[in-house]
Structure 1
């Protein structure tokens, strides 16, 4: 999936995993549905392309294609920040844990070709 602007062509796909504080299984039923809505709103607002989303009781997998001017750390901050703020206001039971999310998160870049393929392509540039 390529994203084109006046200055660039990119394919930046990020796989995020977010975990509630102490890996509590709080992302269930209405909380999970509302979290999905919040993420969909952010996707629309920022012009991201959602590739996959899975909300499990104790973690979230989020695969998104993002523009070049938005760093993965910003994306994580926006998702976790808005979700925490809104979910804790709307679901008082979430106030029992000190914060909704663990301070850490996982992010990995996901490409359309393997790293080995790109490495070979670069190494073969001189011979072409």
Structure 2
């Protein structure tokens, strides 16, 4: 996958988040039309916030999302926006979800940043900053 750096006023960024969340008690309720509608709602909410969905998988007992977001949108904000919106709409449209679960989603989620550069590369870059030729001339 080619690296796509986004540019805004005063910033250039390439932020990707892998976010995973599960239904309450990890019940396998995301099947059939519920899973399809959940997928549709997540994509709609991401489009509303101008987040780019790179991969989305709605499994019976969890949701995996790989999304590119803006620097002002933390992974917690992304997860909470998607969980809150999908819970409200799905529980309104599918009465079976209300009867089986007190809330649709568990309170927890998993989030990891995904980037084109490894942590080791960044660490090496930072550690060798004063080894650059133009830095040696100035003498730190």
Give the 5 Å matches for 1:1-128. 1-95=4-98, 96-128=100-132
The DSSP-based 3-state class of the residue aligned with 1:63 is strand
Matched length = 128
Larger radius of gyration: 2
Structure 1 stretches of 4+ moved >3 Å: none
Gaps (5+ residues) in structure 1?
none
- The equivalent of 2:138 in structure 1 is none
Q: Which structure is higher in RCO with an 8 Å CA cutoff and minimum separation 6?
A: 1
Distance 2:96 2:29 in 1: 9
Distance 2:42 2:62 in 1: 14
The structural deviation recorded for 1:11 is: 1.1
Deviations 1:8-49 (A, max 9, x none): 001111100010000000010100000011011111101111
The structural deviation recorded for 1:125 is: 1.0
TM-score, normalized by length of structure 1? 0.97
Deviations 1:26-85 (A, max 9, x none): 010100000011011111101111111011100010010000111111111110000000
Gaps (5+ residues) in structure 2?
133-140
TM-score, normalized by length of structure 2? 0.89
Say what the alpha-carbon RMSD is for the aligned residues: 0.7
